[in-house]
Every structure is written in structure tokens, then in C-alpha cells.
Structure 1
Amino acid sequence: MKTLVIVAHPNISESRINKAWKQRLSEETDITVHDLYEEYPDKKIDIEREQALLLSHDRIVFQFPFYWYSSPSLLKEWQDAVLTYGWAYGSEGTKLHGKDFMLAISTGGPEAAYQAGGYNRYSMSELTKPFQATANLTGMRFLPSFVLQGVRMLGEDQVRESAEEYINHITLSR
């Protein structure tokens, strides 16, 4: 199964987690790592190129740090530009039908903060509903997310372990 991981981190050089994940992903033969901030520093997205990338893969993963209860801005801009009516959705928009879709998210806050009664009051499943709705609208199958929380408190061994767990999650999920 060919997997496309779309990485969206505006300061990946400063991120222990997303940088480690990206590095580990690049060692896999059936995974294409596509870093939006590296590819589009001018924020001018090549829509046809992006759509071709999507078409050539079976599984799509959005990897990002959780920013203000969503993704970094370039990933949102990418969605607006690339997932167009008549291509990704609408009566003629069937190009993504049947593909797998999942999220790989890191949070600075601990898991306890993301639940009913927690600091943020909502679970990660509730907060990622817009992504689940995107999968539904585009005919993709939403798979369980890979979420690593409390990343500021992790040691180097835990960061390395998380990268291995991430690879297993995105390659073994069905």
C-alpha cells in the first residue's frame, strides 16, 4: 500500500517529535513524505501536482502539531486549494473515493487535558470532527488517528519509540 504523509509544521527544525517522525518515515520504501512548508515556502500551492500525488497513493496521512484546536494554516490552505468541487467532492468529485485517510497529531498538553472535564473540555475525537467530515465528504475511509500527547515532557528514548509506533500505526491500520 502506497502511503502519502503530508507533513505540516511551520518550524519543523525546532520540533523534536515531528522532525523525528519525518526522519523515520523517510526510511520507509512505500511511504512518500511531503513537507508542505518545505515545498511551498511562498505558500503558492501547485494544485495539479498535489492532486496527482493524492491520486498516486492509497492512504493519505496528515501529520501536524495541534495548533489552536486544528492544523497549522498551510495545511488548511492546502485543503481549500486542492480538495476542489468536482474533483474531491460533489456529484463528479470522486477522485479520492475508497482511499484511506488518517491523522498523526502531536500535542504539547497531556492526554488528560483533552477530555470532558479536562483543561480543553473536549476529546481529540471531538476536536478532529472537521477532518472526519472531510473524509466523509470526499469518500475516504477515516482510520483511527495516531496521537501523541504531552510531547514537551518526553525523553529522547520516548521520542524514538513514538516514531516506531507511528510507523506501525500507519502501515498496519486497516
Structure 2
Amino acid sequence: MSEILVLGAHPHLERSRVNRSLLKAAAALPPGRVQVHDLYARYPDFHIDVAAEQAALAAAKLVVWVFPMHWYSQPPLLKLWLDEVVSFGWGYGPGGDALRGKDLWLVVSTGGTDEAYTPGGHHRHFVDAFWPPHEQTAALCGMRFLPPLVLHGAHQVSDSELAGHREVFVERLSSYPAWPEISELPACPGCHVPADERPEESH
């Protein structure tokens, strides 16, 4: 098991310049430090090995989600992974302390340009407006939400721009946790979840 767990979630990685490049670079790092799970390659049938994923999560200090923005959120398999792996009583809620004190880092690519993610663009908001659900997910699990790394206009970036983005990504993985901004971030929050919030019968 490794200190850093990188979860790649691109439904068509073979068509991706950006995500494929990042996951390949992460996989080339020392395996004792970085472990890469390409979720769509591991689980083409969407049947997730929950025990294996939980073991990898429990061992990691930094959890990285690498994905393209899908409808202002994550792709479906990453959402399913979250639903099944980060379960009540394990990842959050009473007794669910397995992720407490860890860090969550989003590495996201968008099809839209940076201008598109402004109040005057067709997405109507800066990209930061779409982080709160992810940030609250981290908070519920007692994790610290690190500032995301974003590459806009992924379909249009030049080779040199992609190389620069990849270099930042690799440097961050290699230098973790010695990031200047980490020392300025508050400690992992605590969100108390009542034991009766998840009854045996679903609602």
C-alpha cells in the first residue's frame, strides 16, 4: 500500500490527452509512494472491489481524484466508487473514522476554457463555485480539502501547456506534504453525523 492513492476516472481514457498523460506520469513515480487506480480499467463492469479500495484508502495519506468535469461534477464511476467505498460507519458517521486526518486533492480538466468559467461565460460561474459538494464530502469524512489543480480547455491546450501542467502535477505528488499552502490551511473539520441518520430501511 502507498502513501498517495491516485484515482483516475475517465470513461474514455484512450481518447484523453490530459488525463491519460497525468495518470501515466503518476504511475511512473515510485510505487512504494504512489499507487494509481484507473477505475474504468479496473471495473469495466462497475462491480467495485470495496474491500480492496478501502484497504488502499486506509493506507494512504493523500487521496487524489483525477477526472474530467462531467455536468459540473465527477464521472459516474467515481460517484459509484464514493457511494460504495466510503460507506456509513467506515468513512463517515458513528465509528466511520477510516479517512479522518487524510487529505483530498482534486485534479480536474474541463472542456470549457477559463473564460467560459466566469460570470460572463456560458457556465456563468468561476470553477470554484462547483467545489462545495466535494469540499463537504471531504469534511464529512474528516478530510482536509486541498486547493484543486484545474486545466481548462483540455481539448485545445498545446503540447507545451500540457507538459507544464503535468510537471506541476508530478511535482506536487513528489513533494507532498511539503506544499507551501498546506501549512496555511485549517485542520480537518469535524462533522457530527447522528447515528439515526441512516436507518436500516432506505427512504
> What range describes the TM-score normalised by the shorter chain of this pair?
over 0.9
2:43 matched to 1:46? Answer: no
> Residue by residue, what CA displacement relative to the aligned partner does 1:116-138 show, whole Å, maximum 9, x if unpaired?
23210122221121110100000
Q: Which of 62, 73, 88 is the matching residue for 1:59? A: 62
Aligned to 1:127: 130
User: Which of structures 1 and 2 has the bigger CA Rg?
Assistant: 2
- Aligned residue for 2:115, secondary structure, equals helix
> Residue by residue, what CA displacement relative to the aligned partner does 1:58-108 show, whole Å, maximum 9, x if unpaired?
100110000111111000000000111000111211110000111000011
Aligned to 2:113: 110
Aligned to 1:34: 37
Q: Which runs of 5+ in 2 are unaligned?
A: 183-203
Larger fraction in helix: 1
TM-score, structure 1 as length reference: 0.95
2:5 matched to 1:9? Answer: no
In 2: Cα distance, 1:55 partner to 1:24 partner: 23
Structure with bigger RCO (C-alpha 8 Å, 6+ apart): 1
Q: Which of 79, 82, 87 is the matching residue for 1:79? A: 82
In 1: Cα distance, 2:173 partner to 2:121 partner: 28
